[in-house]
């Protein structure tokens, strides 16, 4: 992963999201030890304090837990927590933006739903190739 340093999203948030993606993909499972702040700092060429901030976001959300002297580990049910969070925050926000833009463009609900269905079908066809 290459971090986006243009300032649109803080680096520590990008680190947290990258770790979430690693958990989602199965690279880290329940009770697996994740990278330390120093390993992350070296991997991404960032300050260890920035990496620690990303880890602490996930600890605060109970996606990771600390074992004193041993590091951070993936919490039980972390993958499900991430799925729920992303559905409730990310998708909901995208849908709100989509609906607002559709209204600005005078796209009705039926037309919008048809566009979503067509995109979904197109995406399914592209996945199989």
Q: Which residues does 72 contact at the CB level (< 8 Å), separation at least 6?
A: 33, 34, 36, 55, 58, 59, 64, 65, 66
Residue range 69-89, pLDDT digits in tens: 999 999 999 999 999 998 888
- Compute the 3-state secondary structure of the chain and give helix, strand, coil in percent, each to the nearest 5: 65, 5, 30
pLDDT of residue 128: 47
Proportion of the chain above pLDDT 70, given as a percent? 92
What is the C-alpha separation between 49 and 37, in angstroms, rounded? 7
- Taken in order 8, 25, 92, 50, the sign of the CA dihedral is negative
pTM, entire model? 0.74
């Amino acid at each position: 992963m290459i971090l986006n340093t243009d300032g649109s999203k803080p680096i520590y948030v990008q680190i947290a999201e990258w770790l979430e993606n690693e958990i989602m993909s199965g690279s880290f499972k329940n009770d697996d030890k994740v990278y330390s702040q120093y390993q992350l700092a070296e991997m991404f060429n960032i300050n260890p304090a920035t990496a620690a901030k990303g880890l602490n976001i996930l600890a605060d959300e109970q996606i990771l837990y600390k074992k004193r002297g041993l590091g951070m580990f993936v919490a039980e049910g972390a993958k499900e927590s991430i799925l729920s969070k992303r559905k409730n925050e990310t998708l909901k926000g995208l849908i709100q933006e989509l609906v607002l833009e559709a209204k600005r463009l005078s796209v009705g609900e039926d037309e919008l739903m048809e566009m979503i269905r067509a995109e979904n079908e197109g995406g399914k066809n592209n996945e199989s190739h």
